[in-house]
Amino acid sequence: MLRDQILSGAFPPGYRLVEVSLAQRLGLSRGTVRAALSELVHEGLVEQVAYTRWAVPELSSEDAHELFTLRSALEGMGARLAAERLVPEGAKRLELAFQTFVEAAVRGSRGRITELDFALHKLIIELSNHRRLQRQYTLIEQQVRRYIACSNALIPAAENIVEMHAPLVTAILQRRGGGAEREARRHNIDEGKVLVAQLRDKAAKGTALKLVRSPTGRPVAPKAND
């Protein structure tokens, strides 16, 4: 639940997460909340400041640069292997995932689009059938979800988000390994450079990117920092 609130932007970057307040709102013990926050620290979605308080970390231009370059390497490899090892069942799953993505764009549900965007990339990694690659991707996947939310917030039309993925999906379905890898890398590098530039501009102006809210999870209304 806390993860969803962070990824949706309900708990924005810099927001202080107070154990007592969260435990009261969620009807849980402080120990349970503390354990959840500790897990989110490992996922890169929460930071513990001087071992005394918790907060949602800012996404800096350097964070974005590291994430898009790492994604480019991991997802490029994943796309190539997915194309080379694609079986009929995998092709059907990929076609269905992309079609669901398209339908969400038609309805204009931006939060849903962001969730399906991440799900599509995660599926491609799964279709690579490379266990160690999958494990490495798991280590950063929650940070990738947050990154995608920030990146998609900069794209005016929902349809454009889907269109940017079409060449990648086509290359995999056509089993063009080299082409799929190039499309995955291009997709990540092009979007990454835009996000990095925006974050640098926002930092210079002292403002922050506004995330698109996700429809997942039971809402926990954020209050002023306790």
Domains within the chain, CATH numbers bracketed: 2-55 (1.10.10.10), 61-205 (1.20.120.530)
The pLDDT, as a whole number, for residue 9 is 73
Query: Up-side HSE of residue 63: CA atoms within 13 Å toward CB?
Result: 18
What pTM was computed for the model? 0.79
Distance from chain centroid for Cα 197: 18
Q: Could you tell me if 67 and 121 are in contact, meaning their C-beta atoms sit under 8 angstroms apart?
A: no
What pLDDT score was predicted for residue 208?
A: 64
Tell me what pLDDT residue 8 has: 73
Question: Are the C-beta atoms of 222 and 15 separated by less than 8 Å?
Answer: yes
Pairing mode, if any, of strands 47-49 and 53-55?
Answer: antiparallel
**Rounded-to-10 torsion of CA 156, 148, 134, 66:** 120
Integer Cα distance of 62 and 197 in angstroms: 10
Rounded to an integer, what is the distance from CA 133 to the centroid of its chain? 17
pLDDT at 210: 59
Which positions ≥6 away from 180 have C-beta within 8 Å? 79, 80, 82, 83, 168, 171, 172
In this prediction, residue 124 carries a pLDDT of 98
Q: What stretch of H or E contains 55?
A: strand 53-55
Per-residue tens of pLDDT for the chain, all 226 residues = 898 888 777 888 889 999 999 999 999 999 999 999 999 998 888 999 877 789 998 889 999 999 999 999 999 999 999 999 999 999 999 999 999 999 998 887 777 888 899 999 999 999 999 999 999 999 999 899 889 988 988 888 888 999 999 999 999 999 999 999 999 999 999 999 999 999 999 888 877 665 544 443 333 333 334 4
